[in-house]
């Protein structure tokens, strides 16, 4: 080879430019064959990824169409429907001796815990009895003005017969101004329009049975006053003994009890009607004593028994629905839900647990589901304003009734314990993470402790990276029933994390810099993927998962679970890709990442599994960044924009496919499409945006954790240390796929932060997986390679000019 004009000429006339790439005589570059194949493989992988996701969307649409045709089968309806509202009734209240009537209904029908979330009181999470009844009336979260709970007032007679709910216009205006915009009187109006005879027994029942004008055609203060129930196809009964015992009000007479016949203590009379609108101090009455509560439950059971004894024997049967549709304590609870008699399909509700497509959890329904159930049992079309789904038979159960009741009571116990430990757990979690980063920074930057300290840092980093998935796997152990739940959940999570870390260091992969990282990340990805494909049971009542009492979400990927799953998936793929790349199998590495990454993105968005709207575009961008960098190409704003657009189109296609299914089978993805068509989408988007800002600004601990994790990553691992050159740079040199995986995970977390209502919680939890595992890889690189001398800036050359005279 000869040199010509600064270029190297190869035999045959081609020239090589500085840097090693061949050039033709005309100056054009001859691309390296391997790099060209890698770029083509990257393009093919991205195309295969999008084709796979498109095929999955088509499958969703086909399944949705099939479900629609099956839903049109004719149904045999019950002759009568009875709704028994017992605000405050919990599963721990039931007893075969004290509540024989309710116990019999459980023994012969379906049962579940009910999430009674409505429009909560300011600074409170409880659902007041009035709000619970109004939510049943509207089929959407509803509430009442005021800062406290008050008993429902007795309705007022109107000329021509019937009664009217007091302050109905005020209640309607208040709810129209909320984010949920419930339409009060849905059930009563549908029944009136269809010619269904409705009767309400008790003031609360009048709230649930009223039409959109607040009127009820037939009202009785008691079961005895109603007389013969035969003429009425829908009867709503308020067994309000717990309400009266808690609020000190006599709801049957529409007055409060106490030293005087005036308003209850802490309430303010309405200037227009004299109705009590809520406690002036924004307080909620204290909890009842155990004896007071027990006696009230006994009286409520007698009321239920009185009505059941008067129900006629009808050819098609009568369906009885029992609902503890509100709270009667200072803290929210899960409440009783029972269905006895014929279902909307004609067959009896099976003995066992109830469920609904709104929750997809056996033994869990919501108060808005009660509305949809009543409407369906009457044979009426469920209006679009009703967000619940009809109760259905869940999984069969065996054993005595007492065991079933105990299991449902345990579900509420788990919720109560979760509310107590979640805040302290995150405080400990954040504090320990930050302390670990500080100690690791000292060990790496200053070299304190030598090689032993590095080994300890690596082990703790792997355990720390496994903590996130362990918070979900901990649900396999009933830690909430331990004597000290806070200690129980911490020990359980640490035990599982240590077991995962032991597995990560057990195999032959432990010697590779990315071996433990890949093992922990793969376990994280597979565990959460299996969970979401089988019903998301591990996320229910987890300290990082769903809280059924809140009622925000019951199935699919929660935002925190998505953050953990996406980070684990991308890092696991990076580890597998590095193993294949080291064997010269770049095309296979890209194919594996595209196939599993595409399936993971689809699982995140598919309505039957993850049902995650904001996560799909973010996840797709993260996987695309991984593929682009693995192929040797550069990530550009144009590429990111195109991938983001593809992600938006993908989740849009999934949402439309979900919308094509019957309304009672849609997830929130299909519901959002309908909201777009109805012009209500901006209301939902605005509510989500305010939630995201609120979480980000209000959750300072997770914001601090995110900042510390990023600072540790870029100011500690990415800078020279006592061990020489930057540890992160040395890890990139030894395992280039780590850079692709880390940047992909960070991109996914950033976009997820912008697109989900959990705000800073998403990057915080993603960094909890990514940064400790990256630290473990960096430490392993420091152990494998000899210390290097950190680069120092060169000193200026001495001047060669002669000294000035």
- pLDDT digit string (tens) for 331-380? 999 999 999 999 988 889 999 999 999 999 999 999 999 999 999 999 99
Domain count, the chain: 2
In a domain, 616, yes or no: yes
Same domain, 508 and 606: yes
- Looking at per-residue pLDDT, the higher value among 695 and 763 belongs to 763
Residue 30: pLDDT over 60: no
Q: CA–CA separation, 39 vs 629, rounded Å? A: 10
**Which phi and psi angles does 528 have, rounded to 5°?**
-75, -35
Range of the domain at 293: 80-398
Residue 184: pLDDT over 90: yes
In a domain, 265, yes or no: yes
Is the CB of residue 139 less than 8 Å from the CB of residue 369?
no
pLDDT at position 8, please?
A: 40
In a domain, 580, yes or no: yes
In a domain, 490, yes or no: yes
Same domain, 310 and 417: no
In a domain, 18, yes or no: no
- Looking at per-residue pLDDT, the higher value among 125 and 72 belongs to 125
Same domain, 427 and 365: no
In a domain, 49, yes or no: no
Same domain, 182 and 106: yes
End-to-end CA gap in the chain = 51
Domain of residue 91, CATH code: 3.40.720.10
Helix-helix angle 401-445:485-504, to 10 degrees? 60
Q: What is the DSSP string of 749-769?
A: HHHHHHHSTTTTHHHHHHHHH
- pLDDT digit string (tens) for 627-658? 999 988 888 888 888 888 888 888 888 888 88
At a CB cut-off of 8 Å and minimum separation 6, what does 335 contact? 88, 89, 90, 91, 113, 114, 116, 323, 324, 325, 326, 327
Is the CB of residue 149 less than 8 Å from the CB of residue 248?
no
In a domain, 67, yes or no: no
Residue 799: pLDDT over 70: no
Same domain, 263 and 309: yes
Same domain, 178 and 231: yes
The band of 55, judged by pLDDT with boundaries at 50, 70 and 90, is low
Q: Picking from 7-16, 121-130, 721-730, 733-742, which range would have the lowest pLDDT averaged per residue?
A: 7-16
User: Residue 21 corresponds to which tokens in the numbers above?
Assistant: 């790439």
Q: Other C-beta atoms within 10 Å of 20: how many?
A: 8
Out of 366, 398, 430, a domain closes at 398
* Neighbour-count burial of 585, counting CB atoms closer than 10 A to its CB (0-12 exposed, 13-18 middle, 19+ buried): middle
Same domain, 744 and 779: yes
Out of 376, 398, 420, a domain closes at 398
- pLDDT digit string (tens) for 713-759? 988 888 776 655 688 888 999 999 999 999 999 999 999 998 887 88
Segment 375-396 mean pLDDT? 90
pLDDT at position 510, please?
A: 86
Residue 323: pLDDT over 80: yes
Query: Model pTM greater than 0.85?
Result: no
């Amino acid at each position: 080879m000869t040199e010509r004009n600064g270029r190297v000429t190869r035999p045959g006339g081609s020239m090589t430019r500085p840097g090693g790439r061949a050039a033709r005589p005309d100056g054009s570059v001859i691309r390296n064959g391997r790099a060209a194949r890698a770029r083509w493989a990257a393009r093919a992988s991205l195309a295969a990824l999008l084709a796979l996701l498109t095929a999955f969307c088509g499958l969703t649409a086909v399944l949705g169409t099939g479900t629609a045709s099956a839903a049109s089968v004719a149904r045999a309806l019950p002759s009568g429907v009875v709704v028994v509202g017992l605000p405050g009734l919990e599963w721990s209240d039931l007893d075969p001796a004290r509540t024989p009537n309710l116990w019999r209904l459980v023994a012969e029908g379906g049962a579940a815990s009910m999430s009674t979330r409505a429009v909560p009181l300011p600074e409170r999470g409880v659902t007041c009895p009035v709000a619970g009844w109004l939510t049943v009336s509207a089929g959407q979260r509803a509430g009442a003005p005021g800062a406290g709970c008050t008993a429902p007032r007795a309705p007022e007679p109107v000329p021509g017969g019937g009664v009217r709910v007091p302050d109905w216009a005020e209640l309607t205006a208040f709810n129209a101004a909320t984010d949920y915009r419930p339409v009060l009187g849905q059930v009563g109006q549908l029944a009136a329009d269809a010619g269904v005879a409705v009767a309400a027994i008790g003031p609360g029942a009048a709230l649930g049975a009223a039409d959109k004008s607040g009127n009820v055609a037939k009202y009785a203060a008691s079961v005895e006053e109603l007389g013969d129930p035969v003429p009425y196809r829908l009867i709503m009964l308020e067994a309000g003994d717990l309400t009266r015992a808690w609020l000190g009000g006599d709801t049957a007479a529409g007055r409060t009890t106490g030293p005087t016949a005036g308003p209850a203590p802490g309430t303010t009379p309405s200037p227009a009607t004299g109705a009590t609108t809520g406690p002036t101090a924004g307080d909620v009455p204290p909890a009842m004593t155990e004896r007071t509560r027990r006696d009230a439950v006994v009286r409520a059971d007698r009321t239920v028994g009185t009505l059941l004894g008067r129900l006629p024997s009808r050819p098609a049967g009568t369906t009885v629905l029992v609902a503890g549709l509100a709270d009667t304590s200072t803290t929210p609870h899960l409440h009783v839900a029972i269905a006895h008699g014929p279902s909307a399909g004609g067959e009896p509700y099976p003995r066992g647990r109830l469920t609904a497509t709104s929750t997809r959890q056996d033994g869990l329904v919501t108060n808005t589901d009660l509305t949809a159930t009543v409407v369906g049992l009457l044979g009426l079309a469920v209006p679009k304003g009703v967000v619940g789904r009809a109760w259905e038979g869940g999984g069969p159960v065996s054993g005595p009734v007492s065991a079933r009741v105990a299991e449902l009571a345990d579900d509420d116990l788990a919720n109560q314990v979760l509310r107590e430990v979640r805040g302290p757990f995150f405080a400990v979690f954040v504090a320990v993470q930050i302390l670990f980063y500080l100690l690791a920074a000292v060990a790496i930057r200053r070299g304190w402790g030598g090689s032993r300290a590095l080994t300890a840092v690596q082990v703790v980093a792997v355990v720390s990276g496994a903590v996130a998935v362990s918070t979900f796997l901990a649900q396999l152990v009933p830690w909430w029933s331990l004597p000290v739940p806070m200690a129980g959940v911490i020990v359980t999570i640490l035990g599982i994390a240590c077991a995962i870390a032991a597995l990560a260091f057990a195999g032959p992969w432990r010697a590779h810099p990315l071996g433990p990282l890949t093992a922990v990340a793969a376990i994280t990805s597979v565990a959460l993927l299996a969970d979401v494909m089988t019903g998301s049971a591990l996320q229910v009542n987890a300290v990082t998962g769903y809280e059924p009492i809140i009622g925000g979400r019951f199935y699919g990927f929660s935002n925190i679970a998505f953050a953990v799953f996406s980070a684990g998936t991308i890092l696991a793929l990076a580890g597998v890709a590095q193993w294949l790349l080291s064997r010269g199998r770049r095309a296979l590495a890209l194919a594996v990442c595209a196939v599993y990454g595409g399936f993971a993105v689809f699982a995140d968005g598919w309505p039957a599994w993850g049902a995650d709207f904001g996560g799909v575009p973010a996840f797709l961008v993260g996987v695309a960044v991984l593929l682009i960098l693995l192929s040797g190409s550069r990530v550009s704003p144009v590429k990111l924009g195109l991938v983001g657009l593809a992600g938006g189109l993908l989740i849009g296609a999934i949402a439309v496919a979900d919308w094509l299914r019957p309304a009672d089978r849609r997830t929130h993805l299909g519901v959002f499409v309908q909201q777009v068509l109805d012009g209500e989408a901006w209301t939902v988007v605005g509510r989500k945006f305010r939630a995201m800002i609120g979480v980000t600004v209000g959750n300072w601990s997770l914001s601090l954790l995110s900042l510390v994790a990023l600072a540790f990553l870029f100011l500690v691992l990415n800078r020279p240390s006592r061990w020489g050159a930057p540890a992160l740079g040395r890890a990139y040199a030894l395992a280039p796929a780590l850079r692709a995986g880390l940047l992909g995970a960070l991109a996914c977390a950033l976009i997820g932060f912008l697109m989900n209502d959990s705000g800073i919680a998403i990057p915080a939890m993603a960094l909890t997986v990514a940064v400790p595992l990256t630290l473990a890889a960096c430490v392993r690189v420091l152990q494998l390679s000899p210390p290097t001398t950190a680069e120092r800036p060169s000193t200026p050359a001495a001047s060669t000019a002669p000294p000035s005279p």
